[in-house]
Copies of this chain bind each other. A is one copy, B any other.
Amino acid sequence: MRRHLNLLSNEPAETLLYTPEPARTAHIMTESFIIDARWIIPVVPARTCLLDHAIVVRAGRIESIQPSQGARADNPDLTAVNLPTHTVIPGLINAHGHAAMTLLRGYADDRELMDWLENHIWPAEARHVSPAFSYDGTTLAVAEMIRTGTTFAVDSYWFPDETAKAYADNHFRAQVCMPLIQFPNAWAKTEDEHLQKAAELHEQYRNHSLVRTAIAPHAPYTVTDDGFIKAKEQSLQYNVPIHLHLHETRGECEDALKDSGKRPFKRIDELGLMDHHLQTVHMTQLTENEIATLASSGAHVVHCPESNLKLASGFCPVGGLLDAGVNVCVGTDSAASNNNLDMIEELRTAALLAKGTALDPTTVDAHTALELATINGARMLGMADEIGSLEPGKAADLVAIDMAAINFQPMHDPVSQVVYASSGHQVSDVWISGKRLLDEGQFTQLDEVALRQRVQAWLERMQA
Contacts and interface: CB of A to CB of B under 8 A. Distances in A.
Interface string A408-448: 01111100110011111110000000000000000000001
B103 A410 contact: yes
A421 B361 contact: no
A456 interface: yes
Contact of A421 (B113, B339, B412, B455): B339
Given A309-B352, A339-B420, A361-B310, A410 B105 contact: yes
A123 interface: no
B366 A409 contact: no
Most buried by B among A110, A147, A315, A362: A110
A412 B105 contact: yes
A110 B361 contact: yes
A405 B112 CA distance: 29
Nearest to A443: B406
A180 to B, nearest CB: 27
B106 A455 contact: no
A349 B345 CA distance: 10
Nearest to A335: B421
A340 B147 contact: no
B315 A423 contact: no
Contacts of A361: 110-113, 116, 310-312
Contact of A407 (B104, B113, B148, B409): B148
A315 B448 CA distance: 41
Contact of A309 (B339, B356, B405): B356
A118 to B, nearest CB: 14
A407 B144 contact: yes
A406 B144 CA distance: 6
Given A352-B306, A361-B116, A406-B448, A106 B312 contact: no
Given A423-B345, A455-B410, A352 B310 contact: yes
Nearest to A315: B356
Contact of A410 (B109, B360, B426, B456): B456
Contact of A362 (B106, B111, B345, B359): B111
A151 interface: no
Interface string A90-133: 00000000000001111101111100100000000000000000
B312 A358 contact: yes
Contacts of A213: none
B406 A338 contact: no
B109 A308 contact: no
15 contacts: A105-B412, A109-B366, A109-B416, A110-B361, A140-B406, A310-B361, A312-B356, A314-B356, A314-B359, A339-B420, A342-B407, A406-B452, A407-B425, A410-B462, A423-B425
10 smallest CB-CB distances across A and B, nearest first, come from: A110-B365, A106-B416, A410-B459, A309-B352, A309-B356, A339-B420, A423-B423, A106-B413, A106-B412, A312-B361
